[in-house]
Amino acid sequence: MLSLRFAIPTANTLTPPKIKPKPGLVVQTAWNQTDLFPSLPKRNDYKLQAATTDLSVAGDIPAEEVVELPAELSRELMPKHVAVIMDGNGRWARQRGLATSAGHEAGVKALRELVELCCQWGIQVLTVFAFSYENWIRPKVEVDFLMSLFERALKSEVESLSRGGIRISVIGDSTKLPTSLQKLINEVEETTKHNSRLQLIVAVSYSGKYDVVQACRSIAEKAKDGQIQLDDINESLIEQELETNCTEHPYPDLLIRTSGELRVSNFLLWQLAYTELFFAQELWPDFRKDEFVDALSSYQQRQRRYGGRH
């Protein structure tokens, strides 16, 4: 069960929406549907948009350098690991009368900006929820579109991310992914494995329940083969078998969820036991530097007790 023992200041738990209208776009201030990132296009969007969506973003990740932090933040209190549920691409597009694919493009740009900020501000691990294990039950046309979207995003950004010193890891049940995507993931992970400026972990075909179950199965196989004994099974052993064993910092210090939804949606259930939570009203494409500063500032004002007293 997820532990919620930490205090979440009311003033910082839900931040007011900051919708940023652009010339020529009609912006509505209400939405009526929850959608996990990536938001799924309507059925009639796929064939028209899959071939035309451009996921590339010009320029490289800036070279490593000392960057002055915003006045609200302290480098000493910066979280090592930030996790994000990127929610609201579809609603962002609908509010502007655009195709859903436009929301995905804007979401990719928002993620790229967040990656740059993490690099500049000394955050060591960024984990993002891209595709839930439960999403496989959706119509095949939707799933095919999202797999293609992810593959194209990886291809268009991997060189820039690698030059920026970023290591890319993908967690989740990769056996369900298209063969071409599995091969690309292996190549990207191998190419960037020695980078150490920031580790970007992308959760695809992932769920927290799946993660715990696959860890238990692995432990059971080892016990069956006589590699471990019953008394060897403890929290540490389970943690070694979780998908987040790919990083030195498997437990997020801060989880951010956008779009005003107040749940963790089966994401990193074991790992979030003592994570601080921050819920922002902004839809994911509108979550930029100012909103990230708000989330980090809220985190830095909290006392993490881990069940104890201070």
Active site residues: 87
What residues does 276 pair with on adjacent strands? 254
3-state secondary structure of 202: strand
C-alpha 101/C-alpha 53 separation (Å) is: 7
Spatial CB neighbours of 309, under 8 Å, sequence gap ≥ 6: none
Give, for 300, the enclosing helix (H) or strand (E): helix 289-300
Q: What does 67-118 look like in DSSP terms, one character per residue? A: -PPPTT--GGG--SEEEEE---HHHHHHHTT--HHHHHHHHHHHHHHHHHHH
State which amino acid sits at residue 184.
Answer: L
For 156, phi then psi, to 5°, come to: -80, -25
Measured CA to CA in angstroms, residue 47 lies from 51, 90, 144, 178 at distances of 7, 17, 11, 19
The tokens for 65 are 């350098």
C-alpha 171/C-alpha 169 separation (Å) is: 7
Spatial CB neighbours of 190, under 8 Å, sequence gap ≥ 6: none
Q: What share of the chain is helix, strand, coil (3-state, %, to 5)?
A: 45, 15, 45
Rg, C-alpha atoms of the chain: 19
User: Residue 171 in contact with residue 137, Cβ under 8 Å?
Assistant: no
Distance of CA 218 to the CA centre of its chain: 25
